[in-house]
Structure formats: C-alpha cells, structure tokens
Structure 1
Amino acid sequence: MEGLTFYWLTWSFWIIATFFMKKENKTRLKFSIWLLLFICASSWVIPIFGYEVSGAGIFLSCSLFYAAARMERLKMLYSLLCSFIIMLAYVCFYLFELFDPVWLIFPRNWMLAVIVVCISFLLQRNSWGRIYILLLGSIQGEFLYALILSKYSFPFLIASFTFLDVIALATLLVTIWNGIEYLATFYERHFNQLEREKQKLS
C-alpha cells in the first residue's frame, strides 16, 4: 500500500522527537510541528499550472528553499549543486524504469532510496546536509520528471505517496548510518581515553 511506509516512519520520527528528545532542545518543538504539518499536507492535491502537486510536495519545497535562503552563500550554492546532481540521478532512474523496466530486480522504492543515499554520502559529510540535499534533489527530480512526461501527455502526480515512501526510506537509511557513525566515534573516544589512563598508570 502506497504511503504506508511514509506514515509509519514519519509518525515514528514524531514520537521520537516529542517524547524522547530533551525538552531543552530548541529544535524539538519546531521539528514536531513540521512533521505534523507535513503529514497533514500529504493528503491534499493542488493543481498548479496544469500539474497536480500534493500538498506535501509544496510544503516540503517551501521548507527546503526557506532553509537554503538562511544558509551562507557558498554553502547554499554547494547544497544546490549537490541537489542538482541528485535530481539528475533521480530522473534518470525513472526514465530507465519507464523505457527498460526489466533491470529493476529489487523493489523500486528501495533501489531508488539506496541510490540517492549513496550519492548524498559522496557529496556531503554533514549528517543534516546529507538529508537536506537528498530531500531537495528528490523533490526537484519529481518536478523535472513531471515536466518530461507532460511532453507526452502522461498524467503524473508530483510528490505522490510513492515519492513520500522513497524519501522516508532514504531518510531512515541516512539516520541509521549517522547513528552508526556517532556510536563509532563515541567508542573510539572512549577507547582512546581508556588507553591514555592505562599509559598514565603504567
């Protein structure tokens, strides 16, 4: 069922943000409200210039470009360049699927999520930066793919539940990997500290 993965993961993130993040964290309330608005907007479909766009797509685009406007100029340009690369990869994947679907040997959502995640890891080191360019590149890819299909009069809903499932899976994969990196750094520091204490005692 399309959208089930999106709802399940977004509600999970909301529960974590609301009940497990520290109350002193300033981003906790903002993130919780943003997730609720994102979930609510997912059920809307808005016609814009002859295209059908889900409310979640519009909300996500506005949020990402607002975040870009608040970045430093060089950081913003680099993020936009990275998202452009992901956009091209996203559209190429859909075009390959459209013209030669035989090579899709795994579930499409997982394949696309893994591809955009791998590219985001190659382009960004910062954990939030990876998620940002992943989301921005994917939503831009949706608009570009809809523009290409409009030339052939194919109907296409921009930021449909299929898209939301893909970005939810991709965000989950990035979050898991970031958690592994954090644990590795934590244990490395702890191990180095123990080694230093042993050297002092000896």
Structure 2
Amino acid sequence: MMAGSIFLFCTWFLWIFTTFFMDKRNQKRTEYSIYLLLAIVLCGLNWEWQHVRFSILPLVVLVISFFYTSRLHWKKSMYCIVSSFFVMLAYITYELMAIIDPIWVFIPGVWLKASILFILVILLHRNIVCQILILSIGSMMGDIVLSFVLRSYQMNYSIGSMHFFDSFMLGMLGMISLFYLKMTLARWEQYVFMLEKERKNNV
C-alpha cells in the first residue's frame, strides 16, 4: 500500500462526515472541516533545514494543539501535557525497538503503532478532545525528538513522513469511532429505558 493512502482516505472520510453528516447545530462543524482540508493541503509540503527534512503539517498541528491545550483549565492542561510526554516516550520507544529488533513487529508497523498509541491514549484520558490533543502533541513531538536521536547516529529520518501520518490518522479515527460508538450505545440505552418505563406505566 502506498504511503499516505491511509491518511488521505481517513482525512477525506472525516471531512465528508463533518461537512455533510455532522449535526448542523454543532458550532465546531465548520472549524473541523477547515482543519481537515488544511491537513490535506499541507501534507505534501516539505522543507529542509540543517539536512533535516521537515513536513509543514506536524508543525501546524503542534501549534493548533498547544493553542487548544492552553485554553483548557490549568489542571486539565497540565495533565494533557504530562500525558503527551508519556505518549512521546512510547512513540520513540516503539520506533527504536522496531529499528533495533524489527522481528517483534509481527503485524504491519503502521497498524501496530496506531494500536499502541490508541490504547495508551484512551487509558490516559476519557475526554475525546483531550485524547485528540494528547495524541497530536505526543506523537508529533515523538517524531521530532526521534529524528534528532537518529541523526546523532548518522541516520536520516524525515519528520512528518506519510508513513507517520498513516499511523497517526488510524489512531485518531479509532478514538473518534470509539467516541461515537459510546454515544450511540448511550442513546440506545436511554431509548430502551424510556420504552421500558412507558411499558410499565401502561401495565
């Protein structure tokens, strides 16, 4: 599978969902659509500094994520930053282990990395907004730090490659899917409760 195909497919899918299927009363709907289109446009833009190749998109995602994190209550904001640090360490550890001993990567690396980050993030926080912020900051910072670690060993590593965004978007899509699954189950449970209550009242 071509690098970046998962990212582009998931991003387009989310853009279609937010644009045409999300509740129109949601004030964030247009904002989400703009961010997703921005991600599609910026994912192919790169620049090089001191022989290190950067993608523009991770830097933009970091700025936006830190902006929204700063708007949270200070306790929640600090918790997100600390959680992001643990996600960053997990990301770097996974990548280094995959380089040192690749035999333990028993399933495609993109899916395995996405699964590890997804499980870690949902264990660290229950709120979907904080989960997205933690995943964004942690994985982006992890990719940047990993690049400089590998550079010290004369190994070239591109920051924000399409392989990176494939796993990042899979983790993001997993969290969003889990959030809507919980919402659907909660509404269904409420609907069943109302039916049961109505049935008892009619008896």
Which TM-score applies when normalising by structure 2? 0.94
* Partner residue, 1:58: 59
- Give the letter for the 1:171 counterpart: M
Q: Which moved more, 1:85-94 or 1:191-200?
A: 191-200
* Partner residue, 1:30: 31
* Partner residue, 2:132: 131
* SS of structure 2 residue aligned to 1:119: helix
* SS of structure 1 residue aligned to 2:28: helix
What are the Cα deviations for residues 33-78 of structure 1, in whole angstroms up to 9, with x where unaligned? 1111111111111234553210111111111111112122111100
Unaligned runs of 5+ in 1: none
For residues 99-178 of structure 1, the aligned pairs below 5 Å read: 99-178=100-179
- Give the letter for the 2:20 counterpart: F
Q: Work out the percentage of aligned pairs sharing the same amino acid.
A: 30
What are the Cα deviations for residues 119-160 of structure 1, in whole angstroms up to 9, with x where unaligned? 111111112222221121111110111121011121111111
Report the Cα distance in structure 1 between the residues aligned to 2:201 and 2:30, rounded to whole angstroms.
45
> Are positions 1:196 and 2:197 aligned together?
yes
On the 8 A contact 1:57/1:159 being kept in 2, the answer is: yes
Report the Cα distance in structure 2 between the residues aligned to 1:48 and 1:65, rounded to whole angstroms.
23
* Partner residue, 2:81: 80
* Partner residue, 2:188: 187
Report the Cα distance in structure 1 between the residues aligned to 2:72 and 2:126, rounded to whole angstroms.
16
Report the Cα distance in structure 2 between the residues aligned to 1:2 and 1:68, rounded to whole angstroms.
30
4+ residue runs over 3 A deviation? none
Aligned residue pairs, count: 202
What are the Cα deviations for residues 70-94 of structure 1, in whole angstroms up to 9, with x where unaligned? 1221111000111111111111100
Q: Which moved more, 1:143-152 or 1:13-22?
A: 13-22
Report the Cα distance in structure 2 between the residues aligned to 1:143 and 1:80, rounded to whole angstroms.
16
* SS of structure 2 residue aligned to 1:46: strand
Q: CA deviation at 1:24?
A: 3.6
Report the Cα distance in structure 1 between the residues aligned to 2:46 and 2:193, rounded to whole angstroms.
54
Unaligned runs of 5+ in 2: none
On the 8 A contact 1:39/1:56 being kept in 2, the answer is: no
* Partner residue, 1:7: 8
Q: Cα RMSD over matched residues?
A: 1.4
- Give the letter for the 1:196 counterpart: K
- Give the letter for the 1:74 counterpart: K
